[in-house]
Amino acid sequence: MEYELPQTPASMPGVKVAVLGAGKMGGILLQAFLRNNLLHPEQIAATVAHPERAHALSTQFGVAVTTDNLQAARDADVILLGVKPLQVPALVEEIRPALTGNKLLLSFAASVKTSAIEDAAAMELGVIRAMPNTPAMLAAGITALCRGRFVLDEQLAIAQRIFSTVGRTVVVDEKHMDAVTGLSGSGPAFIYIIIEALAEAGVNVGLPRDIATQLAAQTTFGSARMVLETGYHPALLKDAVTTPAGCTVDGILQLEEGGLRVTLIKAVKRATQRAKELAAD
């Protein structure tokens, strides 16, 4: 398949990016770089484990995809690490001959600490760790970024630009990354359960399932936008919906009785704990 070169200059010109491990998340990022014209195809290289997948991806995206991590790393200024967490140290050791102090290693592997990557690299270079979430697929994700010991401000800015192609970004201290994993990493699953339950409730009170699902999902989406775009505290927005002696307050009473609030808090705490355990494995 021929890829039509964009006519406008890339918004991050002159930077070469390698995505080592272009699987689900890496593939989402690759597509976002091209869709947003952050990079032109010739600025991107990617790798996977299987040659046939490399060929298929290369044809699909019009970028160079190989199984040669070392070569891809040699040619890149920014090296994204997208393999499974347990594979990260070995991958960094593999590409060590290609690393120099001015390259940036940007890992989005869950639970892998920047210090583990710095140790595997065995040199002083910028390492940034990112935790994206699956709504990245629709450019509606949120990615938390934290910096390793040798990161320059301009490198952090590059990482933010890279992940802004798939949604919002926040910068946190590394000590908060497990909490991020428990909240925004696992969070989509918690929200899907809430949407599913609301839709089920709609069916229970007589709505057709497809209408109930749309009502539940769009209500979740709209409420999230209200929080993000008005900047009002969620409690204030909730109060605005809750008329005295009305329907909503009766519903809220049921939610409180059922312990929704405390259950969600416990879910995030438990997921955070699990992320800590995985990091220690």
Ligand X SMILES: NC(=O)c1ccc[n+]([C@@H]2O[C@H](COP(=O)([O-])OP(=O)(O)OC[C@H]3O[C@@H](n4cnc5c(N)ncnc54)[C@H](OP(=O)(O)O)[C@@H]3O)[C@@H](O)[C@H]2O)c1
Name the site residues for ligand X (rule: CB under 6 A). 20-26, 47-50, 53, 69, 82-85, 87, 91, 108-110, 132, 134
Q: How far is the CB of 183 from ligand X (least distance, A)?
A: 13
Which single residue brings its beta carbon nearest to ligand X? 23
CB 150 within 8 A of CB 123: no
Nearer CB in complex with ligand X: 53/176:
53
Nearer CB in complex with ligand X: 65/199:
65
Nearer CB in complex with ligand X: 15/137:
137
Neighbours of 7 (CB within 10 A): 6
Q: How far is the CB of 24 from ligand X (least distance, A)?
A: 4
Compute CA distances 105 → 39, 79, 97, 192, whole Å: 17, 5, 14, 33
Closest by CA to 163, choosing from 135, 180, 141, 190, is 141
Q: How far is the CB of 81 from ligand X (least distance, A)?
A: 8
Q: CA 96 to CA 79: how far, in whole Å?
A: 12
Closest by CA to 21, choosing from 98, 103, 100, 105, is 105
Nearer CB in complex with ligand X: 134/214:
134
Q: How far is the CB of 73 from ligand X (least distance, A)?
A: 11
Q: How far is the CB of 182 from ligand X (least distance, A)?
A: 13
Q: What is the dihedral of CA 24, 76, 157, 100, to 10 degrees?
A: 120
Nearer CB in complex with ligand X: 12/72:
72
